């Protein structure tokens, strides 16, 4: 199949807003007993995640002919779906609520993450914040945008003048002590609610460096593209290029 024609980005944003308004925000800070389940140890899922994924899985394929869906909760039930990332059909990669733990705490900073892939390449990505209604978006070669504003990463400089975000899971690695020591060289270590929020913050130039961990495709594919189109660079910490078809341990994003 040839590279698909990208949909109007606003049509995707409309789907994200509809999903936020109907499936996520009514349950934000209003979850009831039985609304939260565990997929695995320290891996919660809520009825809002499930409802969001169902709606997006129904709405998005209609925007790109022949497209299929690979979504987080579906993969939790059937990991063979990840094989679709290597097939010929365009793929909608969906995280129905990125930052479920943040959502469970009743804190802002969670989001909906969606990207469109073809043959292992991310063509477009969206990170939507249901609370603020803001969406960061990028398509290959078209820049990164939030509303009508073009995004641009902060310029690089001396380590002591830059800020850094470090994903909490990084501290579970054997080099945690080294990471903790080195991060003190930065001007500030900035906590951020979720991976998508972190990429939006980096892409808007409000934080310089990001260290990410636990590399599920749906968490990082849209953010990496948005950051790159905003002028940034992201790669595995061993220097290998980011590959959305692979799961690996951690990623470094920088100006």
Q: What are 36-56's pLDDT values in tens digits?
A: 999 888 889 999 999 999 999
Note whether 14 and 134 are within 8 A (CB): no
| pTM as predicted | 0.96
Instruction: Note the pLDDT of residue 168.
Output: 87
Percentage of the residues of the chain whose pLDDT score is greater than 90: 85
Residue 178 reports pLDDT greater than 90: no
Sign of the dihedral through C-alpha 36, 69, 78, 101: negative
**CA–CA gap between residue 22 and residue 187 (Å, rounded):** 41
pLDDT, tens only, 64-93 = 999 999 999 999 999 999 999 999 999 999
């Amino acid at each position: 199949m040839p590279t698909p024609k990208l949909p109007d980005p606003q049509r995707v944003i409309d789907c994200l807003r509809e999903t936020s308004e109907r499936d996520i925000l009514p349950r934000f800070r209003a979850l009831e007993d039985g609304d939260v389940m565990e997929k695995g140890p320290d891996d919660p899922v809520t009825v809002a995640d499930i409802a969001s994924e169902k709606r997006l899985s129904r709405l998005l394929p209609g925007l790109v002919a022949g497209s299929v869906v690979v979504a987080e909760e579906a993969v939790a039930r059937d990991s063979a779906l990840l094989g679709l990332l290597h097939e010929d059909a365009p793929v909608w990669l969906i995280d129905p609520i990125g930052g479920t733990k943040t959502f469970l705490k009743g804190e802002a900073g969670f989001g909906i993450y969606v990207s469109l892939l073809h043959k292992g390449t991310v063509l477009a990505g969206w990170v939507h914040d249901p609370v603020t209604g803001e969406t960061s978006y990028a398509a290959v070669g078209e820049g990164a945008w939030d509303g009508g504003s073009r995004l641009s990463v902060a310029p690089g400089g001396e380590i002591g003048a830059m800020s850094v975000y470090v994903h909490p899971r990084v501290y579970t690695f054997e080099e945690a002590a080294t990471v903790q020591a080195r991060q003190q060289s930065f001007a500030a270590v900035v906590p951020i609610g979720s991976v998508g929020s972190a990429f939006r913050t980096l892409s808007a130039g409000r934080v310089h460096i990001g260290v990410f961990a636990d590399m599920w495709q749906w968490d990082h594919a849209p953010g990496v593209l948005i950051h790159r189109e905003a002028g940034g660079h992201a790669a595995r910490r061993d220097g290998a290029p980011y590959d959305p078809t692979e799961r690996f341990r951690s990623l470094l994003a920088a100006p």
